Structure 1
């Protein structure tokens, strides 16, 4: 059985969403991020990304990590592409061309969207008050996201989904990445097709199941 190391309040969420979509059973080991703990190295600390047992799996100290039939794999985008290829019909690639396009959108999510979207999440999305410096960082991140969001908006408006006109692992990757910026209204309201696509993706039962489990975890 697939083993997912990482709490759902992490990039493991995209793996769990995919597993829910394709009915792939898994065991989850709830490794928590060390930065969320007061003293991650305390003897009574829960299993976390500083724990020696976890560092044997991930020397980088990052979640998620999966074990799949002897394969130890890190990096969430690589993990979901692997699982989609192996188990993922109909959300996985049906041809080499589809595989390439799905990888293209995963890389685009990782490089063009995620860094600035995370800035919006950490500085705006959690509701804390912002200093003038933070407000400038938020504005700059939102401005940088306009171009990639417009690319995705235009594509979604024409095709409905990212690859082959159907919901695929590429949509999971992009939707979970864009979710970080979702709470920043001044950005999202510029892209109605993108907003609707994201709303529809998050209405899927597989996402809702993942999200319910995520909310059940401690913040």
Structure 2
């Protein structure tokens, strides 16, 4: 199978795996676990992990996710998703240079929110993190209202996948979403998609 996606789904690997499933791609999911989750990642019986030489041969950074598409290796979750959408096309992909620019813009914008979103789900001063997210949530809510409920061209795209997966971490802060109805409706619609639900079932079947 030429396309391989590396990384357990209790990681940012959810983003490219969800994208690949939306695209209906035939791919091999290689469940590489984070080394920090293992007592001894170098033990002979340790599962494939981010410190394993076999995985370091794919991504010398020792980070998941990673992709091998018939010999073309790519790292970083947003980059992988954008690449897969660009290569395989269809409504999930940007239609032109402007939409491609917007898809990259929203991915980079989402990266700026990720630390606070993670702080919420990991219960590390979640109230302070939620307070910092109020202003960007107002920006996103207005953009979704203007864009017909999506980030690009009034339709569901890879840009929605990437950003929805960042904001999933913030969902325990329910008041953030309740005060921004366009965000609430958008993330609810994203997470109602069959590909998202199939990906999450696979994620929930993994060891915690």
TM-score for the superposition, normalised by structure 2:
0.95
Match of 2:160 in 1: 171
Out of 117, 137, 143, the residue aligned to residue 149 of structure 1 is 137
Note if 1:214 corresponds to 2:197.
no
Matches within 5 A, 1:64-143: 64-111=65-112, 113-123=113-123, 134=124, 137-143=125-131
What is the deviation of 1:165? 0.6
Match of 1:8 in 2: 9
Please give the alpha-carbon distance, in whole angstroms, between the structure 2 residues aligned to 1:35 and 1:187: 31
Out of 150, 153, 166, the residue aligned to residue 161 of structure 1 is 150
Higher helix share: 1
Match of 1:128 in 2: none
Please give the alpha-carbon distance, in whole angstroms, between the structure 1 residues aligned to 2:43 and 2:189: 43
Note if 1:200 corresponds to 2:201.
no
Please give the alpha-carbon distance, in whole angstroms, between the structure 1 residues aligned to 2:152 and 2:135: 20
2:199 aligned counterpart, secondary structure: helix
Please give the alpha-carbon distance, in whole angstroms, between the structure 2 residues aligned to 1:50 and 1:6: 12
What is the deviation of 1:42? 1.7
Please give the alpha-carbon distance, in whole angstroms, between the structure 1 residues aligned to 2:23 and 2:48: 28
Please give the alpha-carbon distance, in whole angstroms, between the structure 2 residues aligned to 1:213 and 1:6: 12
Q: Deviations over 1:6-36 (max 9, x none)?
A: 1122111111111111111100111001121
**Structure 2: where are the runs of 5+ without partners?**
none
**Structure 1: where are the runs of 5+ without partners?**
124-133
Please give the alpha-carbon distance, in whole angstroms, between the structure 2 residues aligned to 1:88 and 1:37: 38
Q: Deviations over 1:116-141 (max 9, x none)?
A: 10111112xxxxxxxxxx4xx22221
Match of 2:26 in 1: 25
What is the deviation of 1:188? 2.3
What is the deviation of 1:38? 1.8
Q: Aligned residue pairs: how many?
A: 206
